[in-house]
Structure 1
Amino acid sequence: MAYFTKDEARQAARSRMNKSYQFNAKSILESEARSTTSYESFDVFLSHSSKDAELVLGVKEILSRMGIKVYVDWHDDPQANRENVTVETAELLRTRMKQSKSLIFLATDNASGSKWMPWELGYFDGFSGGSVAVLPIVDYEGATFKGQEYLGLYPLVDKGRYTNGQSDTFVKKQGAWLTLDSFRKGSTTWNRYSY
């Protein structure tokens, strides 16, 4: 599988920073912060560690270039306090997850230390009926991914090619696949590999 790399995410973040004339990923997300309306919907709720500002900005940029509307809490709801677990923040995140068609768990080195990510994953999986995927960010092209054991329950996002050579981004699970575009629209109709 060809996963997205830290360099790809950082390059996308730098591209985004250059467009805004700001040079700090977190400040871009915060300065663009807007109050999301209570009825707004999203294609993807991006579950991430707040310690990964540059990677989060880069992945948000990569997904946005694909036409995917991404929810990032400190961008869309800057008033949320992710440093502390509170009833108010949990309720806000529940609302935003319900407004999202899918959840992508951004698997980075910092993900295992997050207070919120396992909760977000379990909550979303519980009500969504399977619209959850893991997007590993690896150190280099061709690297393998071995995340926490429970992440093995979910399909993985990777880059690939069709037999005609055209590239695309896929969500894959054992013996089946969807395009990321279909996944973000909430599709649960998996294509089977023909061997």
Structure 2
Amino acid sequence: MKTIFEQGTFNAYQERSLQHAMNEVVRFSAQTTVFISHKHDDLGDLQGVLGFLEKHYNVKVYIDSRDSSMPAITSEVTANNIKSRIEKCDKFILLATNGAIESKWCNWELGFGDAKKYKNHIALFPMKPQGTYDSSYKGNEYMRIYPYICYFDGTERYTNGTSISKGYYIGEFKETGNYITPLSEWFNSK
């Protein structure tokens, strides 16, 4: 099971341009809409994740860092626009790199997303620097609070002994144990 991905894992999906993810989300679409909170320094990883999600899960992604309607200088208008975009999207994902975990804006967006999307509509996409140990990942405590995207390679088993199918899931820690939901099912739940 992979619970924390290395940065660069999704680089093969970077062929998608970030430009189309800057348009304001329209709820009339049958596609699930996703607000991805991210640190602006992580645009390479963001582009790969965006391409991966759109290709494999047919979702419409919104990112604020490319939205030309955002003010040039961060202000209360920026915050209000972001709040509006989070509310309009069906799902909220934090691209949870070490930089994003330390970012005051990402934490603010996560807090607002928590209030508007918690529990079934919010998730972390945990990413650590290449070549580092999971234990050095700065978002480990966040993964105890929020659902997170993870991967199973098909060799793992549920506690009842049945095989877990290969693929991506939403993992979640609860007092009664760890639970997973197929990522496609999570995206399709409204």
Q: Same fold (TM over 0.5)?
A: yes
Give the SS at the match of 1:147: coil
Equivalent residue for 2:8? 7
Q: Does 1:69 align with 2:57?
A: no
Runs of 4+ in structure 1 off by over 6 angstroms are none
Unaligned runs of 5+ in 2: 155-161
Query: 2:43 is matched by which residue type in structure 1?
Result: A
- Measured in 2, the distance between the counterparts of 1:181 and 1:33 equals 20
- Measured in 1, the distance between the counterparts of 2:131 and 2:28 equals 36
Is the contact made by 2:53 and 2:59 (CA closer than 8 Å) also made in structure 1? yes
Query: 2:24 is matched by which residue type in structure 1?
Result: T
Q: 2:134 aligns with which of 144, 150, 158?
A: 144
Percent of matched pairs sharing the same residue: 24
Equivalent residue for 1:127? 116
The 5 Å alignment of 1:38-49 reads 39=27, 42-49=32-39
Is the contact made by 1:107 and 1:147 (CA closer than 8 Å) also made in structure 2? no
Equivalent residue for 1:36? 24
- Measured in 1, the distance between the counterparts of 2:125 and 2:25 equals 27
- RMSD, aligned α-carbons: 2.8
Query: 1:36 is matched by which residue type in structure 2?
Result: E
- Measured in 1, the distance between the counterparts of 2:144 and 2:72 equals 26
Equivalent residue for 1:172? 171
Aligned pairs, number: 172
TM-score, normalization: structure 1?
0.74
Is the contact made by 1:136 and 1:156 (CA closer than 8 Å) also made in structure 2? yes
Question: Once the two structures are superposed, what CA deviation does each residue of 1:1-51 show, in whole Å capped at 9, x if it has no partner?
Answer: 3143223222322xx06xxxxxxxxxx424x46643665565321110011
Equivalent residue for 2:92? 103
Give the SS at the match of 1:154: coil
- Measured in 1, the distance between the counterparts of 2:165 and 2:9 equals 19
TM-score, normalization: structure 2?
0.75
- Measured in 2, the distance between the counterparts of 1:102 and 1:79 equals 21
Give the SS at the match of 2:33: strand
Unaligned runs of 5+ in 1: 18-27, 188-195
Question: Once the two structures are superposed, what CA deviation does each residue of 1:107-161 show, in whole Å capped at 9, x if it has no partner?
Answer: 1132134231111111111122312111111345895264343453112211114
- Measured in 2, the distance between the counterparts of 1:8 and 1:29 equals 17
Give the SS at the match of 1:80: coil
Return 175-184 or 3-12, whichever deviates more.
Answer: 3-12
Equivalent residue for 1:51? 41
Is the contact made by 1:101 and 1:186 (CA closer than 8 Å) also made in structure 2? no
Is the contact made by 1:82 and 1:89 (CA closer than 8 Å) also made in structure 2? no
Question: Once the two structures are superposed, what CA deviation does each residue of 1:68-93 show, in whole Å capped at 9, x if it has no partner?
Answer: 22111234x22314862x11111111
